[in-house]
Amino acid sequence: MTHYRSVFKDETRLDINYVPSRLPHRDSELQLLMKFFNFVLHAPEKMTQRALITGPIGTGKTALAHRFGLDIAREARRFGTNLNYVHVNCREYQGSLFLILLHAVSAFHPNFPRRGYSAEELLNILLQILDERETHLILALDEFESLVEREGSDAVYKLTRLQETRPRQAQRISLLCILRNVDLLKQLDASAKSTLQSNILHLEEYSGQQLIDILNDRVHLAFKPLAVPEHTVSMVAEFAFSEGGNARLGIELLWRAGKYADNENLAKVSPECVRKAVSNIYSVMRKGDLDSLKPHEKLFLLGIARVFKDKEEAHCTLTEAEQAYAIACEESDVKPHSHTQLWKYLTTLSALGILKTEVTSAGSRGRSTLIWLTDISAEELDRALSTQLLR
């Protein structure tokens, strides 16, 4: 019986809900958020704040908000200030102001009844709770789009102009709204929109190197030493970068690739594990793409698939591909085509998105062509092509 081993030391560090102690390349944004809300540490009853975090999927908006919530709450305890941070995913609560406020109230009273109140009544109850506890609440509204799309300006107005209904009383609720595109606010009327446009923190897409840094940070936390080679991390980062700098996708790919490594009882997470993980998430190898290939294009691609099945590196050379192609031709009892013709096949396969190529300098030996399988498992590709070529 084969002894089971795992490449993970703590896979929970790759969970979507895990909040790392540090967020690579988001330090300045975190510091700016702390400055926006610094008043809660010194004069929480004197004012409220409203801020927005915007940016594309996978740029760390939710992680930044959670890290900020943990940090500001820790600072408040150090200053002896009463502060609560409540994070609500508006989409999870169907964009309903009633359900969002019910969640906020339940953070203080877990058994609070779910029926018998309107959204306005829940808002007043929440304020009453905060008054009784003499505490300030930072209410983070994640996927804020859902609330705006379902309930529009009225809900936003009620939340942002809350203090105007209770003049000369302690100010209790600040808002942190998290959304992808600030243009959504154009849907709001002027009175609701004006209260949300002063403090906007936009997160840019991560660069390729930034994604490598983020993934290496998670590798250190989640995997055993040396279990994830650098070329594997670079491969994951490159795919995440191609999907809009999506760090969340990159982290999920790391986890899935680790699971494939465990399933095959490997000591390391190989590029083939990554290709299988990508294929599992986004299966882009359409049957029609392979059907449309000419016989020698299929044989060339079959040779490349076989190279990657036995190769730990994320790329191979054109020379290796040609040698494997020659063997595939011999097995099929056909004469290999010329080097020039293989260049044309390489162009076709790259255009289909099955391969990626790069011409690099190889020192005194001239230039070398490197080949990558993008997001297709070599094993799956070998199986599919072998079946077609046997017809």
pLDDT at 192: 76
The average pLDDT across 277-286 equals 66
Q: What's the CA gap between 275 and 284, in Å, rounded?
A: 11
pLDDT band at 1 (very low <50, low <70, confident <90, very high): very low
292, 354 Cβ separation under 8 angstroms = no
pLDDT 10s digits, 67-122: 999 999 999 999 999 999 999 999 899 899 999 999 999 999 999 988 889 999 99
Nearest CA among 124, 182, 126, 120 for reference residue 151: 120
- Reply yes or no on whether the pLDDT at 12 is more than 90: yes
Domain ranges, ordered by start, for the chain: 27-202, 207-281, 287-389
pLDDT digits (tens, 9 = 90+) for 360-382: 765 555 678 899 887 678 888 88
Q: Mind listing the pLDDT tens digit for each residue in 302-349?
A: 999 999 887 878 888 999 999 999 999 999 999 999 999 998 898 888
Fold match, 207-281 / 287-389: no
CATH of domain 27-202: 3.40.50.300
CATH class belonging to 287-389: mainly alpha
Instruction: Convert the pLDDT of each residue in 22-78 to its tens digit.
Output: 999 999 999 999 999 999 998 888 888 999 999 999 999 999 999 999 999 999 999
Q: What is the pLDDT of residue 280?
A: 73
Which CATH number is associated with domain 207-281? 1.10.8.60
- Residue 285: pLDDT above 70? no
54 against 281, higher pLDDT: 54
- Mean local confidence (pLDDT), 258-269: 94
pLDDT, residue 382, reads: 87
Cα distance between residue 178 and residue 51, in whole Å: 9
Predicted pLDDT of residue 3? 63
